[in-house]
Structure 1
């Protein structure tokens, strides 16, 4: 498994907000946020901004629901954060998400917006399955935002990342 080590020294992991079902004959990729999802995205973005959880770089899946979630975060920080869209995050496995994070060596903090179940697997890989299941016992919620800092204890089941906060709508 790929190990993520600084930089960045802070990583934000966000699952996209709640989306509607695809239109008849439509693609899963094109699903948009529903009204509840737009509210979730805006609320979590506002909470993150209020707590000054400001990434240097925002990375998102190109799926429409992730782009719309990323737009809410981008607006919450005045549009001043670089935003990168990566196709491989859509239906990407854990190693793809880890590779994207480990390649970010120029920023001190990075926010990754993606999909479940990979976001849940990523959180488990970074902080350990016991800690992850304690934080998200029912699974990674839509618009859930984990704030991870480097510097926790290294264990056989997790890297040296610790959970600082977890925001939800």
Structure 2
């Protein structure tokens, strides 16, 4: 498993909601949420709000579908935390997500809105492959939200534990 030092105490991993296909001559980056995707994003936002999930920071890929998902989440949770958009999370390996987490500094909780397969690989890297098998046996769904807490187990060994998984 991967360590993130210094860690936020809670990480929310949100895969963007369902997106349409690229328009003829269009770019993958510009794919927007479908009508169902907008409904998924709003639903996952409501579920997160009902459970009191309030990240102190949201970091999202700049791809259109991620921005739209992040905005739906922001509306549901209110304007309580900082929202950042970064090109770095588009079409990148999981290591880029880990690098981003390493650079956060003193952040209590962070939500990352990104893409598969990297989101699923980050979940596996933090919580282990058993957590992926248990929580997302059919693959990380669109608008899937993993809630992962950091704790120190016996001695100084840091562990990550999936405390919740929401799907729209």
Quote the residue 2:148 is aligned against.
148
Distance 1:105 1:46 in 2: 29
1:125 to 2:119 alignment = no
Distance 1:16 1:152 in 2: 30
Quote the residue 1:8 is aligned against.
8
Deviations 1:83-134 (Å, cap 9, x if unpaired)? 0001010001111000111211221000000000000111000110122111
Quote the residue 1:160 is aligned against.
159
Quote the residue 1:48 is aligned against.
48
1:95 to 2:95 alignment = yes
Distance 1:152 1:44 in 2: 29
Number of equivalenced pairs = 165
Unpaired runs of at least 5, structure 1 = none
- The TM-score normalised by the length of structure 2 is 0.93
Distance 1:55 1:111 in 2: 6
CA contact (8 A) 1:146 1:166 kept: yes
Change over 3 Å in CA distance of 1:167–1:152 after alignment to 2? farther
Quote the residue 2:32 is aligned against.
32
Quote the residue 2:64 is aligned against.
64
- The TM-score normalised by the length of structure 1 is 0.93
